[in-house]
């Protein structure tokens, strides 16, 4: 995999909305946070577009695609941050010029619906990208979590990051140790990609999954979809991020996860604080990760050089 260059204080970074439209006041707050980190954010031309056909998209497909291409092509832009998720990146994936990304590798950061682009970029450009808090959705909150913001520091210093119990409330669903390339993201988006040119490759990899406010039966259905598509046959391990569950769904979902993974002789860790949660830690997708569910330790290889 190809790693992007680390960021330096003063770097100009692009902010795009490849999926849904951000709330402008939240976006502006998030830009302030990026500036507090020493970065100089530049908005894509179509991030705040109005008056187009579909309210659930930030801009027409060609406009959102243009912002993505321009940010990777501009040599003055050192990273590309997504404003929010929602829906829309699957509409872009077939039309992205992946040679632009491969020839201009830089930090690409986002999560949720951005999962579709993470998977597509890995397959077609071999670039390590980052599943992490977004500018409007997370950094734009009224009281942005300090740990969420601090997780962006990994972009400035190329060193491995270690998370361990009891600093984090990890639980082991299946004991074991594994090392491999990290893939994954939002469970709904991963399931939606099956059968397409951009479906997830889990062979000899460690799978990360997060979700937001889905009932147990929907999580069951999507996990079964992945299972029947063969995505757990050769996977080396699983990291479960936050599922942002309603209290009424918590107990049943816990039982589901334990029963679902029980037949697999692989380490499965639950409780990694990444996804639609606070704090929301950024992690490098496409980089190597070491997983030990006996000692409850996760170590991510640096995603930048």
The sign of the torsion formed by the CA atoms of 154, 281, 188, 269 equals positive
Q: Give yes or no for a contact between 147 and 301, defined as CB atoms under 8 angstroms apart.
A: no
Helix (H, G, I), strand (E, B) or coil at 293: coil
CATH of domain 12-155: 3.40.50.10740
Average pLDDT, consecutive stretches of 10 residues, N- to C-terminus, the chain (305 residues): 97 98 98 98 96 94 98 98 98 98 98 98 98 98 94 97 98 98 98 97 98 97 98 98 95 97 97 98 98 98 98
Q: What is the pLDDT of residue 65?
A: 98
- C-alpha span between 158 and 226 (Å, rounded): 33
Is-contact 281 274, C-beta < 8 A? yes
**For position 281, what pLDDT does the model report?**
98
46 part of the active site? no
Q: What is the DSSP letter of 87?
A: S
Q: Is 147 a catalytic residue?
A: no
305/215 Cα distance (integer angstroms): 40
pLDDT of residue 33: 98
Indicate the pTM of the whole model: 0.97
Pick the catalytic residue from 112, 125, 137, 151: 112
Domain extents in the chain: 12-155, 161-300
| Residue 143: Cβ-neighbour burial (10 angstroms; 0-12, 13-18, 19+) | exposed
- From the candidates 199, 210, 249, 301, give the one annotated as an active-site residue: 210
What is the reported pLDDT for 305? 98
pLDDT of residue 50: 82
CATH code for residues 161-300: 3.50.30.60
Q: Which of 118, 122, 131, 276 is catalytic?
A: 276
Q: How far is CA 298 from CA 171, 267, 276, 284, 288, in A?
A: 12, 11, 20, 12, 11
- Could you tell me the two tokens for 250? 């918590």
As to burial, measured by CB atoms within 10 angstroms (0-12 exposed, 13-18 middle, 19+ buried), residue 262 is: exposed
Q: Any alpha helices (H) in the chain, and if so which ranges? A: 24-36, 61-73, 89-92, 98-103, 115-125, 146-150, 187-192, 216-228, 247-261
Residue 112 annotated among the catalytic residues of the structure: yes
* pLDDT score for 168: 97
Q: Is the dihedral of CA 138, 143, 148, 149 positive or negative?
A: positive
Inter-CA distances, 76 with 68, 70, 79, Å: 14, 11, 9
């Amino acid at each position: 995999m190809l790693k992007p260059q680390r960021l330096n204080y003063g770097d100009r970074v692009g902010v795009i909305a490849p999926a849904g439209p951000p709330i402008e006041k939240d976006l502006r707050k998030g830009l302030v946070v990026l500036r507090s980190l020493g970065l100089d954010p530049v908005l894509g031309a179509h991030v705040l577009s109005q008056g187009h056909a579909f309210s659930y998209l930030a801009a027409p497909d060609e406009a959102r695609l243009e912002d993505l291409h321009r940010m990777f092509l501009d040599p003055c832009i050192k990273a590309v941050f997504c404003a929010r998720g929602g829906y829309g990146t699957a509409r872009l994936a077939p039309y992205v010029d992946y040679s632009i990304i491969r020839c201009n590798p830089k930090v690409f950061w986002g999560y949720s619906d951005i999962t579709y682009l993470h998977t597509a970029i890995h397959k077609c450009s071999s670039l390590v990208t980052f599943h992490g808090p977004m500018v409007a959705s997370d950094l734009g909150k009224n009281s942005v979590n300090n740990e969420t913001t601090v997780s962006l520091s990994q972009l400035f210093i190329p060193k491995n990051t270690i998370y361990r119990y009891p600093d984090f409330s990890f639980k082991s669903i299946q004991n074991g140790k594994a090392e491999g390339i990290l893939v994954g993201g939002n469970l709904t988006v991963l399931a939606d990609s099956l059968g397409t040119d951009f479906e997830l490759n889990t062979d000899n990899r460690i799978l990360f999954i997060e979700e937001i406010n889905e009932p147990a039966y929907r999580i069951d259905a999507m996990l079964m979809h992945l299972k029947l598509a063969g995505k757990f046959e050769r996977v080396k391990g699983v990291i479960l991020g936050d599922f942002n569950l309603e209290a009424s769904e918590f107990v049943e979902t816990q039982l589901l996860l334990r029963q679902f993974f029980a037949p697999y002789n692989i380490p499965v860790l639950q409780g990694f604080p990444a996804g639609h949660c606070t704090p929301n830690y950024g992690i490098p997708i496409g980089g190597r990760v070491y997983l030990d569910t006996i000692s409850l330790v996760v170590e991510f290889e640096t995603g930048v050089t």
